[in-house]
């Protein structure tokens, strides 16, 4: 008996899919904005003079980079309530995304900061800038420009990784696929369509990040 | 009522961790072999092969590993192949690993200076002789740190096979949590086991990379 594919059974639920896409985009947006923000702070600390702070941040980075996102998610969603820290699925998923991307972007941005020529920092200080001004105008902007391609790839990886948030019932795209296949019993078709949607999202996200990069670093592009 | 001591929990997790290690090893070795074939297609002289292998890599790098697992787990039975969770896990992780390794290695092959190709060509070497004796040995040297680094991604990737029901350390963690109601402890230990597996590898990869930069 040959199996006959029926993709229309999936598109009957296109509103569910659309809702899932929106939620995945939202999750990625929150993760990116706060995760990269956390990464900038983390990288600033990693290149600071305080030894204790450096140890704390590198412990955080290594802990996150060497454990699976799924386990981080389970720990936050199922483990933290034991300490009286109760989160909804949505909050736990967002928090996990931020913490995860925060660790990776700390490492990526740190590499960008360390590539700053010493003379530029000295020049800034000799112009009477304080350390915050030097960091803001001389160190971080060129560093971000340098590492933007690497950071963009990481953001795409984190977006694709958000598929596992369905496991704590955060209602993103994979959750939508699970819902649809539980209704129409068309597992392969549901996941196939969802996979194509993720591919399209990844391509679109790469494009958007490239545009954001071009826009942010426009003035400096010929420097 | 049954009660679980700390040692019961830990020993059960460690028993399940054997499967995480075994699955990672198989996926990494098989993925390496398939990845080498994809790499040869990716840097071949045939434009069709280059294009096809490019699509292959994009398909696996641009979609979630979880979806790849689901498609294999739910898709193969439709064409009459009975798959267990174990087989689906091995297959999906092998394909996933091959795509990433091929892309990493392509970068290493392209990092070999153009002049090396030209020099070996002027010595009358065929394409395969050039690859075998000139390009791949040099690419191999610079490929080791990122390859070791990627092995960490493979180990972490095996956690997703828990979702299709393969009992490795994450799945065991979920089962033990359901029995003991101690999610903080159990998932903490699960995370620790992954860390113990992954950290030496990422540390080693970082050191190799530093040594390579000094050598150049």
pLDDT by residue for chain B (216 residues), tens only, comes to 567 889 999 999 999 999 999 999 999 999 999 999 999 999 998 999 999 999 999 999 999 999 999 999 999 998 888 899 999 999 999 999 999 999 999 999 999 999 999 999 999 999 889 999 999 999 999 999 999 999 999 999 999 999 999 999 999 999 999 999 999 999 999 999 999 999 999 999 999 999 888 765
Provide ipTM, 2 decimals: 0.91
CATH 3.90.1150.10 fits A10-216, yes or no: no
3-state SS, chain A, equals CCCCCCCHHHHCCHHHHHHHHHHHHHHHHHHHHHHHHHHHHHHHHHCCCCHHHHHHHHHHHHHHHCCCHHHHHHHHHHHHHHHCCCCCHHHHHHHHHHHHHHHHHHHHHHHHHHCCCHHHHHHHHHCCCCHHHHHHHHHHHHHHHHHHHHHHHHHHHHHHHHHHHHHHCCCCHHHHHHHHHHHHCCHHHHHHHHHHHHHHHHHHHHHHHHHHHHHHCCCCCCC
Residue of A5, A74, A198, A207 to mutate, testing the B interface (most B Cβ within 10 Å of its Cβ): A74
Q: What is the pLDDT of residue B212?
A: 85
Cβ-defined contact of A67 to B64 (cutoff 8 Å):
no
Q: Please tell me which residue of chain B has the smallest CA distance to A63.
A: B195
Give the minimum alpha-carbon distance from B187 to chain A in angstroms, rounded to a whole number. Answer: 5
Q: What is the pLDDT of residue A70?
A: 97
Q: What is the pLDDT of residue A120?
A: 93
Residue ranges covered by each domain of chain A: 10-216
In chain B, residues with a C-beta closer than 8 Å to the C-beta of A69 are 156, 159
Among B67, B74, B182, the residue with its CB nearest the CB of A163 is B67
Cβ-defined contact of B162 to A70 (cutoff 8 Å):
yes
Query: Taking 50 as the threshold, does the pLDDT of residue A197 lie above it?
Result: yes
CATH for the stretch B6-215: 1.10.3720.10
End-to-end CA distance of chain B: 64
Give the minimum alpha-carbon distance from A130 to chain B in angstroms, rounded to a whole number. Answer: 33
Residue ranges covered by each domain of chain B: 6-215
Quote the percentage of chain A above a pLDDT of 70: 97
For residue A220, name the pLDDT band (cuts at 50, 70, 90): low
In chain A, residues with a C-beta closer than 8 Å to the C-beta of B190 are 71, 74
Cβ-defined contact of A66 to B198 (cutoff 8 Å):
yes
Give the minimum alpha-carbon distance from A45 to chain B in angstroms, rounded to a whole number. Answer: 20
């Amino acid at each position: 008996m040959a199996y006959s594919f029926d993709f229309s059974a999936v598109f009957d639920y296109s509103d569910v899919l659309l809702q899932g896409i929106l939620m995945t985009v939202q999750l990625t947006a929150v993760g990116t904005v706060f995760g990269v923000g956390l990464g900038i702070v983390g990288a600033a600390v990693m290149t600071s003079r305080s030894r204790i702070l450096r140890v704390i941040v590198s412990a955080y980075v290594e802990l996150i980079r060497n454990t699976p996102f799924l386990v981080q998610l389970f720990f936050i969603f199922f483990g933290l309530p034991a300490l009286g820290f109760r989160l909804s699925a949505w909050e736990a998923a967002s928090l996990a995304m931020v913490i995860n991307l925060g660790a990776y972007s700390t490492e990526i941005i740190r590499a960008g900061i360390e590539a700053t020529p010493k003379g530029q920092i000295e020049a800034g200080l000799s112009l009477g800038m304080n350390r915050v001004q030097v960091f803001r105008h001389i160190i971080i902007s060129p560093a971000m420009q340098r590492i933007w391609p690497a950071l963009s790839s990481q953001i795409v990886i984190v977006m694709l990784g958000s598929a596992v948030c369905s496991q704590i019932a955060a209602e993103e795209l994979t959750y939508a696929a699970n819902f649809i296949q539980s209704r129409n019993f068309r597992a392969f078709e549901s996941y196939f369509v969802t996979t194509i949607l993720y591919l399209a999202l990844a391509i679109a996200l790469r494009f958007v990040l490239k545009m954001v990069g071009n826009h942010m670093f426009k003035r400096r592009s010929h420097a | 009522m049954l009660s679980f001591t700390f040692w019961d929990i830990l020993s059960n997790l460690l028993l399940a961790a054997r499967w995480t290690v075994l699955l990672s090893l198989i996926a990494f070795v098989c993925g390496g072999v398939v990845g080498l074939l994809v790499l040869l297609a990716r840097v071949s002289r045939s434009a069709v092969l280059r294009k096809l292998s490019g699509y292959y890599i994009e398909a696996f790098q641009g979609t979630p590993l979880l979806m790849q697992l689901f498609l294999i787990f739910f898709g193969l039975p439709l064409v009459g192949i009975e798959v267990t969770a174990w087989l689906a896990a091995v297959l999906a992780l092998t394909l996933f690993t091959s795509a990433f390794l091929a892309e990493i290695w392509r970068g290493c092959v392209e990092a070999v200076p153009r002049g090396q190709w030209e020099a070996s060509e002027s010595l009358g070497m065929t394409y395969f002789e050039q690859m075998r004796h000139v390009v791949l040995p040099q690419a191999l040297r610079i490929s080791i740190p990122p390859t070791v680094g990627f092995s960490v991604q493979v180990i972490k990737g095996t956690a997703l096979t828990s979702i299709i029901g393969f009992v490795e350390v994450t799945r065991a963690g979920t089962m033990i949590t359901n029995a003991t109601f101690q999610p903080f402890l159990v998932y903490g230990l699960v995370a620790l086991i992954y860390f113990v597996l992954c950290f030496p590898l990422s540390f080693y990869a970082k050191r190799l990379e530093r040594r390579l930069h000094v050598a150049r």
